Amino acid sequence: MQVEHLRNIAIIAHVDHGKTTLVDKLLRATDAFRSNQQIEERVLDSNDQERERGITILAKNCSIEYKGVKINVIDTPGHADFGGEVERVLKMADGALLLVDAFEGPMPQTRFVLRHAIDTGLRIMIVINKIDRPAADPERAYNDCLDLMADLGATDEQLEFAMEHVVYASAVNGYARRSPEDDNNDMFPLLDMIIDDMPAPEVDECAPLAMQCVTIDHSNFVGRIGIGRVFSGTLHEGDTILVQKNDGTTTTSKIKQLFTFDYLGRTECSEVGAGDIAAVVGVEGADIGDVYTDPEHPVELAPILIDPPTLSVVFEASTSPLVGRDGDTVGARQLKERLLAEADNNVTMRIAELEDKSGVEVSGRGILHLSVLMETMRREGFEFQVARPRVLFRTGEDGKRQEPIEQAVVECPDEYSGKVIEVFGNAGGTMTSMQTGVTVTHLEFRIPTRGIMGLKNRILNVTHGEGVFYHTFLEYGPYAGEIGGRNNGAMISMTTEKAVAYALGTLQERGQLFVEPGTECYEGMLVGERNKPGDMVVNIARTKNLGNQRSSTSDISVQLTPPRTFSLEEALEYIADDELVEITPKNVRLRKRLLSANERKKAAVRRGQ
């Protein structure tokens, strides 16, 4: 039977195409807030980093009440690094809104999330957003969406449904229209289409209980909270249930509390029926893929498989001479405890201590995925250092070594396309598509994940800041051989002192600086990049020799160009294998693993032997 008073929909799109803003407007249209309530924009992006970066990191649930129908809305991340969230939460939905920018059309990560929605068998409704943008072309974006669906293997039923169900919207202005020429100024056409045409959940209320846990929340008071959809039967507070793990083991647990989603919050209830989404408290060690079922008549569901991590980083306690100046927590034991606690909450990461106990290895889906954890920890007062991200290889069925391959897309002015192709060629990339427009060239490449690191800055440099660069994990492919790293050497401080303007004035002629006058530096810290290969040890505290002679130019001050600053992601991509990133609540510093110049020379001799 169908549960007509329920709809479960996911919103999927490329990063920054307007998913969270659309949910905002749907909540406002259905009077989710009091008339005098102060509401922030993008209310679902509650995490500080989500607001600062302007992206969704964690999949979130909310519900909307419209014409007596409860619509469970799942806001999914658009960035491929958080794809572990997308793959799982789509199992809770019966349909999906594919949101596409009317100007940009489908982008690489649109392909990523759409492929998962098609494989899950969801009905897909197309929403062409930002139709008010200058140079927007809604019809082209709509046709490109249908082409992409066909390319990804959508069934005839899915394609026919998408062709008949398209809405043109401007989420930021709060309207959705059946046609771009309409003059409607509210979101009700989209809501009407959802409740009229999106499939209601198909359930069997009389069958034994079956619920699969697809995401985990964590509370300091009650521990892990399993969230998922009830496929059949009914959950009751106080029930004893059988918990089937992904590895085949089973345990029994008692449901202590039961919640459903109500607008932006959760409401405690005594029972949750089939088709609805529930949050369950009381299952010890709740994990992704757990099936909650009837102990006497157990139901088996397909296990949830998550794409494996592709990059790993080793976290170590800081050994910097400046350790402890910015942060409160600097010990190796506290660092290990914090990371192992993260393993409880973040199931898309693999976290394990190294065999020699020197650090903790954290594996994730990409640089951004890993840097979000680092940023969270530095805000909690931790000081630590991390090594260069390492690609995770695997052995294929033929016994040969394989590595993660990415699909990269660059859009740039036509005159820079040759330079972009050259940059990708040097990084091990292969061009798969080139489309030349009136002013912009669209280039697509296959490139090993190793080659992606540090590529964004090079693309921005050769396109004079006018290039747009996206990439997403594609598959594991044959090992591509050696790929060249950073060409230029580093300027390395020889002393632990503050940088002086006079010394920096002479050094900036030799390359690009990373520090400004007054910056605390230490021996072994990277203070700049040379214009040539090979590292150079420099004195950043050298002052002008003062004599009794005065020149007519003595009062002219040193003119310094602004130093290059690194975000966490840029620093991780920049460093070489013998370098580290030191992360504190106030600073991101680059340093050599061996701080002493003599130690580095000895290590070089040993490597030569």
3-state secondary structure 410-469: EEEEHHHHHHHHHHHHHCCCEEEEEEECCCEEEEEEEEEHHHHCCHHHHHHHHCCCCCEE
Q: What is the 3-state secondary structure (H, E, C) of 533-574?
A: CCCEEECCCCCCCCCCCCCCCCCCCCCCCCCCCCCHHHHHHH
| Binding annotation for GTP | 16-21, 129-132
The pLDDT tens digits of the residues spanning 104-153 come to 888 766 776 788 788 888 899 999 988 888 878 889 889 988 988 888 88
pLDDT digits 0-9 by tens, 479-529: 888 876 778 889 999 999 999 888 898 898 899 999 999 999 999 999 999
User: What CATH class is the domain 394-478?
Assistant: alpha beta
**Domain 490-608: homologous superfamily in CATH:** bipa protein (2.40.50.250)
Rounded-to-integer distance, Cα 220 and Cα 11, Å: 30
Instruction: pLDDT band for 392, please (50, 70, 90 cuts).
Output: confident
Percent of the chain surpassing pLDDT 90 = 12
Task: Determine the Cα–Cα distance for residues 492 and 514; give it in Å rounded to an integer.
Answer: 11
Which CATH class name applies to 6-197?
alpha beta
Q: What is the mean pLDDT of residues 535-553?
A: 75
What percent of the residues of the chain are helix, what percent strand, and what percent coil, each to the nearest 5? Answer: 25, 30, 40
Sign of CA dihedral 221, 224, 226, 227: positive
Question: Does this chain's domain 210-293 share its CATH topology with 394-478?
Answer: no
Query: Residue 473 pLDDT > 90, yes or no?
Result: no
Show Cβ contacts of residue 229 under 8 Å, excluding neighbours closer than 6 positions: 8, 91, 92, 201, 211, 212, 214, 275, 276, 277, 278
Q: Name the CATH topology of 210-293.
A: Elongation Factor Tu (Ef-tu); domain 3 (2.40.30)
Contacts of 234 (CB under 8 A, 6+ apart): 205, 209, 271, 272, 273, 274
Measured between its terminal Cα atoms, the distance across the chain in Å is 74
State the pLDDT confidence band at 325, using cuts at 50, 70 and 90. Answer: confident
pTM: 0.69
What is the DSSP pairing of strand 265-268 with strand 123-129? unpaired
Secondary structure (3-state) at 201: coil
Burial of 482 (0-12, 13-18, 19+ CB in 10 A): exposed
pLDDT at 157 over 80: yes
**Residues at the annotated binding site?**
16-21, 129-132
Q: Sheet holding 60-66: strands in order across?
A: 60-66, 69-75, 6-13, 95-101, 123-129, 166-170, 175-177
357-386 pLDDT, tens digit per residue, is: 888 999 887 787 788 888 888 888 899 999
Domain residue limits, the chain: 6-197, 210-293, 394-478, 490-608
Q: Residue 86's pLDDT is what?
A: 67
Q: In the numeric block, which tokens belong to residue 99?
A: 């949101």
State pLDDT tens for residues 163-182.
989 999 888 888 888 888 88
